[in-house]
Amino acid sequence: MATKVLVKECQYAEFKQSWQDEYLKWICAFANTEGGSLFVGVDDKGYALFMQGRTWDSVPVPGISTKELDHGALKLFREKAVESQRLDKKAAGVSVQNLLQNLRCTEGCLLTRAAMMCFHPDPERWVTGAYIKIGFFATEADILYQDEIHGPLLIQVERAMDLIFTKYMKALVSYEGINRQERFFFPPDAFRELLLNAVVHKDYTETTPIQIKIYSDRIWMWNPGNMPEEVKVKDLFKKHVSKPRNPNIANVFFKSGYVESWGRGYYNIELACEETDSKLPKPKAEFGGLTVECRASDQYKELASKWNIGGVNPPINPPINPPINLPINLPINLPINSTQKVLLNLLQENNSYTYDKLADKMQKTRETIRENLKKLQELGLIRRVGARKNGHWEIVEK
């Protein structure tokens, strides 16, 4: 049943189905006379209009033309979309109006909030708090310096990543033979995924920005917006559905190649952490949003201690590499990570271990175990023998 406003339209009350800037004249007229009320979203009979099936980012924004959009953001989108093969050159090279229509960022002749947020140079004209705030802290109470990142969302991500990994985080250098290795205390690829999640899933009806606190050995990030009921924080590193709060903004980021549409963001984070032997971030639902804490790896702490970098405490229990009884004839310099080394060790211990058993022993996800075993198979270091249920693993001697 439709809801009726408890007033009647008269000289002191006006009903309008949608907002237009010209209605500012009505407000001025009310202010200069005996006062009155302007009801937006109400039809002539006094019934409130409800937008069924609408998301926040699909609402049209009057008064914005394609000429006002940021050319740099549009250029970045086109380049990334072609580079990631989400769009071909022909589809990416159409007019701005057609491009936005194809991205479902228009309604009739109007641009939607998704278009405004992703491509307008100043989305904060309409949405307070649509920016990223970054600060470097010596302690919880002692901030040393800070920055704010404004502009189109696509540009915000690039600027924030560049600023964080040049100004805010120190890359420590080590050498493996003659190869120079740079190590941040948290891998950039993993943090990019976390930042993209924050930008795409932020509740933009909240007026507070995304906040990133950086310390000498950890990052803490918060973005406003509760998790969808279908996805629990404890399940983020498991297989889960993709349920974006802002599906049209998410689609722009997907077509640009920044994100995937299958709920694999945290899986990609886990892979990036595995490849660099970094600690997994710890997400937590609190303060009306989602916080994520990323702590420095033990390897980073050891390097920081070696180079006497202030503010980074060495690991309490320095990591001890587990004994790996590798087959005698394997090459000395194996192109494998520590997870794969431990897998080889466990398979020597018991070659009948299942994915689930290995995941339980290593405190990893089943998907991580599967990917690493697949890599070992591709390298020719192991092979699967026998049926799927009753088979076993065999380590290959070379």
Show which of 94, 125, 156 is a domain's final residue.
125
Tracing tokens 């990334």 back to the chain, one arrives at 80
Show which of 68, 97, 125 is a domain's final residue.
125
Confidence check: pLDDT of 75 > 60: yes
Question: Do 167 and 238 belong to one domain?
Answer: yes
Structural domain tally of the chain?
4
What does the pLDDT look like over 276-297, one tens digit per residue?
888 999 999 999 999 999 998 8
For 68-72, 251-255, 327-331, which range has the lowest pLDDT when averaged over its residues? 327-331
- Beta partners for residue 289, in sequence order: 224, 286
Residue 263, domain member (yes or no): yes
CATH classification of the domain holding 378: 1.10.10.10
CATH classification of the domain holding 138: 3.30.565.60
What token pair was written down for 19?
């907002």
Confidence check: pLDDT of 164 > 90: yes
Residue 156, domain member (yes or no): yes
Question: Do 39 and 62 belong to one domain?
Answer: no
For 32-46, 94-108, 235-249, 333-347, which range has the lowest pLDDT when averaged over its residues? 32-46
Average the pLDDT over 377-383 and give the result. Answer: 87
pLDDT band at 6 (very low <50, low <70, confident <90, very high): very low
What does the pLDDT look like over 293-339, one tens digit per residue?
999 887 777 777 776 665 555 554 434 344 445 444 455 456 678 78
**Own/partner pairs for 192-195, CB < 8 Å, 24+ apart?**
192/157, 192/161, 193/259, 193/265, 193/266, 193/268, 193/269, 193/272, 194/221, 194/269, 194/281, 194/292, 194/294, 195/157, 195/160, 195/161, 195/221
pLDDT band at 388 (very low <50, low <70, confident <90, very high): low
Residue 112, domain member (yes or no): yes
Query: Strands, DSSP E only, in the chain?
Result: 13-16, 37-40, 60-61, 106-107, 110-112, 132-139, 142-149, 172-176, 179-183, 210-214, 218-224, 282-286, 289-295, 382-385, 392-395
Question: Do 17 and 140 belong to one domain?
Answer: no
Residue 233, domain member (yes or no): yes
297 Cβ contact partners less than 8 Å away, ≥ 6 residues apart: 183, 185, 186, 276, 277, 278, 279
pLDDT of residue 261: 66
Question: Do 11 and 88 belong to one domain?
Answer: no
Confidence check: pLDDT of 199 > 80: yes
Question: Do 181 and 294 belong to one domain?
Answer: yes
Residue 330, domain member (yes or no): no
- SS3 for 111-160, per residue? EEHHHHHHHCCCHHHCCCCCCEEEEEEEECCEEEEEEEECCCHHHHHHHH
Confidence check: pLDDT of 184 > 70: yes
Question: Do 177 and 121 belong to one domain?
Answer: no
**Nearest Cα to Cα of residue 280 among 215, 358, 362, 209:** 362
Question: Do 156 and 302 belong to one domain?
Answer: yes
- Residue 15 sits at the vertex; the CA angle it makes with 10 and 18, to the nearest 5 degrees, is 165
Q: Which residue has the higher pLDDT, 42 or 186?
A: 186
Question: Do 161 and 236 belong to one domain?
Answer: yes
Distance CA 74, CA 21 (A): 27
Which residues span the domain enclosing 345? 338-395
140 Cβ contact partners less than 8 Å away, ≥ 6 residues apart: none
What does the pLDDT look like over 98-128, one tens digit per residue?
999 999 999 988 999 999 999 999 999 999 9
Question: Do 190 and 269 belong to one domain?
Answer: yes
Q: Mean pLDDT in the chain? A: 83
Question: Do 271 and 220 belong to one domain?
Answer: yes
Distance CA 162, CA 165 (A): 6
**3-state SS class at 28:** helix
Q: Is the pTM of this model over 0.85?
A: no
Question: Do 223 and 240 belong to one domain?
Answer: yes
Q: Which residue has the higher pLDDT, 51 or 393?
A: 393
Torsion angle of the four alpha carbons 375, 379, 382, 383, in this order, in degrees rounded to the nearest 10: 90
pLDDT of residue 330: 53
Residue 322, domain member (yes or no): no
Q: Which residue has the higher pLDDT, 262 or 66?
A: 66
Question: Do 171 and 237 belong to one domain?
Answer: yes
pLDDT of residue 324: 45
pLDDT of residue 157: 96
Distance CA 57, CA 117 (A): 8
